[in-house]
Amino acid sequence: MNAKRVSDALSELDPQYVQEALQYKGRSKAPRWRKWGAAAACLVVVVALVLGGTSMFARESLPQLQPASPASPAADAPDGMRKMMNYNGNRYVFLENGAAYSLSAQQLKAALGTLDYDIQADPQANGKKEFSTTFALGGTVYALADYDPAFRLAVEWEGNYYLCQRTGQTDNSPMDAAEYFAAARFPERIERVSIADHAGAEVLAEFPGGEISALIGELAQAQPAALTEEDYLAIARAQTDGESYQLLLDLNDGTTVSLYVIPSLQIAMIGDNRYALPDSFSEKFGDLFDGLTQGPLPAQ
């Protein structure tokens, strides 16, 4: 097994499974606090402008997006294939492993097309096709009134609605981090950020509320990482040494977006790809991770 495979096995960061894992695994609750002030408000404005046109005004209040029903185990794709679909050259995963959501007609916009191609039936032929899917075959894809399609979409299938979140591109090339955060309207939509253990099972610390905008500004500067075999070995060692963390971004719609960071290596995983963080990330936020301890990774 080469170093990249070792890294993926230890970290559960395999691009085929990561977003499902991030959305599906629970975490223990811990008291949360927020520290807002004039300086934080200024940071929100500055980063919003940098990320390209997010609102300079008060945060919007979005309808709470809670699953109406859990995903059915019987509906899982075979062989561990995650529930995903392709649209406009991008790959999306179904939130909460394909749980149904209650959406109103006012939350939907135009129909964008139908999921016509079955990736499970022929991964080689259909894996990169537009409107290919591993779940909800025949469903109708909709734009959402409150979201940029480059961040989230909805699928109506057999009378139920499902939410899909962009996690990569169909050609497996990395997303542009700044463009992705702008489409998600971060930091405007983020209510709080928690630092969790690598598995996402336990919150280790709360990220200071006044630093969230600065955090997104740093993450937006991340560039796709050109990793060597040695780099993958270093990532694997960092993960087993408890130096890999999940950042849990709780949004004002009731959902959570997760990503991984390894501050000691200046590495992040956003969606399905690994990115090199700017040197300033550890300089600004390294102290927040110092002293955090976590248990061993779950057995593979």
Pairing of strands 190-196, 256-262: unpaired
pLDDT in tens, 189-239: 999 999 999 999 999 999 999 999 999 999 999 999 999 999 999 999 999
| Both tokens assigned to 186 | 């971060």
Pairing of strands 152-157, 140-144: antiparallel
- Report if pTM > 0.85: no
Residue 102: its pLDDT value, please? 93
Residue type, 90: N
Interhelix angle 212-219/38-50, nearest 10 degrees: 20
Spatial CA neighbour of 204 closest among 297, 293, 298: 293
Residue 295: is its pLDDT beyond 50?
A: yes
| 276 vs 87: CA distance, rounded Å | 27
Q: Residue for token digits 């294939």?
A: 81
Spatial CA neighbour of 198 closest among 145, 153, 147, 240: 240
Confidence of residue 296 (pLDDT cuts 50, 70, 90): confident
Residue 57: its pLDDT value, please? 34
Confidence of residue 253 (pLDDT cuts 50, 70, 90): very high
Q: Which is higher by pLDDT, 51 or 162?
A: 162
Pairing of strands 152-157, 267-270: unpaired
Spatial CA neighbour of 275 closest among 266, 263, 284, 285: 266
Q: Going by C-beta distance under 8 Å and a sequence separation of 6 or more, which residues neighbour residue 222?
A: 177, 268, 270, 275, 276, 277, 278
Q: Going by C-beta distance under 8 Å and a sequence separation of 6 or more, which residues neighbour residue 145?
A: 106, 107, 108, 109
